[in-house]
Structure 1
Amino acid sequence: MKKVLAGLALFCTVSLNGFAADNPVLRFGTDPTYPPYEYKLPDGTLTGLDIAVGKAICERAKVQCEWVETGFDGLIPGLNAKKFDAILSSMAPNAQRQKVMDFTQSLYQDDTRLISAKTAPLASSAQALNGKTVGVLQGSVQAKYALEKWRSQGVNVVEYPDQENIYADLANGRLDATLVVATAGQAGFLVKPAGKDFAFSGEAVKDPVLTSTSAIGLRKGDEQTRQKIDSAVSQLKQDGTISALEKQFLSAL
């Protein structure tokens, strides 16, 4: 019996490789610091739109979901090191990422917005932000955009390992603004007591690097996993499940 249990334990630690029939486990990598998409309840339970979508995908694909938590900047290296099988963490499939990984079809769309104090509104341009300090999530498309487009124009762009620390420094006056996915900024900061004196500032930022879609990231060439996930996502879109989950997690924003 001990040998059987030991074998099962080893079996569960081996990475899924394209939904192998003898190992029906799909491991998602995620950074649970980005409500309403992925975050933790006070008891440590993972929740959020992406978590709910991931569970629905696993149910349709008839596999078991497992979640591997890591910082956003470590998600792509973790995927390529086979620490997990796919990334489900509000990741935009921009051109740079597509060079090193594959993506499923899109899940949903959103805008990128600037957040600043209500008493100090800022336009979302390099000229308006000259001399200001803007916090961005390390490894995100918002960080890439701000570093490439704003830093050379005199904007002090500061990268953080997680968005929660950005909100804390913004509330404490250490930052003038943050550039963030709109629904994440609303749910993670603006609707909370710490964000009561802050608001979206300027227009949504538009740029090819800031693709407004979110998709699931995969290792290059893992067509079997992509096809399985895409099939499940198509079913969830067709029967209204994803739409219902969006309403559940985003309607109160």
Structure 2
Amino acid sequence: MTRHKQALSLGWALLGAATIFSTAAHSADQLDRIKASKTITIATEARYAPFESVENGRIVGYDVDLMNYILEKKLPGVKVKQLDLPFQGILPGLDAQKFDFVVTAVTVNKQRVEHFAFTVPIAESTVALLKRDGDDSLNSLDDLNGKVVGSQAGSGQLQVLQAFDQKLRASGKPGIKEIKQYVSFDEAYADLANKRLDGVAQSLANLGPLIKARPGIFTTLKPMLGPTTYFGWVGRKGDDSAQLVKLFSDGISEANHDGTMKALQQKWFGFVMDVPADQMPAPAL
């Protein structure tokens, strides 16, 4: 074989190898990249006890324990870099690819489902109305007419509260006097305790531990503000993120089936929730 032919053959071989390498690199999805780097970056809002909060400089809570259970089984050896961010920046940050996945309690609604990929449910997020214990001016949902009620900006709970207000007004009633929006629910609880609010719209799952921790200060109305809703974790939509979303969703489902989820709920909430194990129900709102 002449040098020219040898060079040509070598060139074709190198081109073929480069093509194979390029195709393999191109086909590597988000989960492959996480495994290769041995690091996953998780976004959390750590001011949402008992799902997550900060204790002694560490993020702890129901979501953290459930995440660790899944990652120890599904991604052993992968280091977790967990970010504590305001809730209002979490979904936009996921969209902008600033981190890999959202492990915090995110209420599933129609708008979010259209844009993001949710796991199966981690807990129920049905919204209740928190009020001051002994406040006799609030005994039914109709009593919210003319009241000042707060919730977290950008949250599913705020959406439920706004929908309820629209329902009141559509029926010819005055509606809620003012809906105040807060960066965190802790600020809303403080304003409620100090009589700057009449109520706070929040997930019932969060309110049970709050009322237990602060006896004689808060209670809830028995009727719920909205329909049954669920919390899930969130990834980006599309083929690149599909396997990562499935990994977390499968892990949550396994935890639901094997009793781990209920044990963690009992630990962090003091009660258990019966949530669907194998699919996220279509959101009502």
TM-score (norm 2): 0.74
Rg (Cα) greater in structure: 2
4+ aligned runs moved over 4 Å, structure 1: none
- Residue identity matched to 1:49: Y
Q: How has the CA–CA distance of structure 1 residues 148 and 239 changed in structure 2, closer, same or farther, with 3 Å as cutoff?
A: closer
Please show how residues 1-253 of structure 1 align to structure 2 within 5 Å. 17-20=30-33, 21-41=35-55, 43-62=56-75, 63-121=78-136, 122-123=138-139, 125=141, 127-150=142-165, 153-187=175-209, 189-193=210-214, 196-207=216-227, 211-221=228-238, 222-251=241-270
% identical aligned pairs: 25
CA distance in 1 between partners of 2:213 and 2:186 (Å): 12
CA distance in 2 between partners of 1:129 and 1:238 (Å): 40
- CA-CA distance at 1:140 after TM superposition: 1.0
Q: Which runs of 5+ in 1 are unaligned?
A: 1-15
Q: How has the CA–CA distance of structure 1 residues 137 and 124 changed in structure 2, closer, same or farther, with 3 Å as cutoff?
A: farther
Number of residue pairs the alignment of both structures matches: 231
Contact 1:170 1:178 in 2 (8 A): yes
Q: Aligned-residue CA RMSD in angstroms?
A: 2.1
- SS of structure 2 residue aligned to 1:115: strand
CA distance in 2 between partners of 1:137 and 1:162 (Å): 6
- CA-CA distance at 1:106 after TM superposition: 1.4
- SS of structure 2 residue aligned to 1:169: helix
- CA-CA distance at 1:110 after TM superposition: 4.2
- CA-CA distance at 1:71 after TM superposition: 1.0
Give the structure with the higher percent helix.
2
Q: Which runs of 5+ in 2 are unaligned?
A: 1-28, 170-174, 273-285
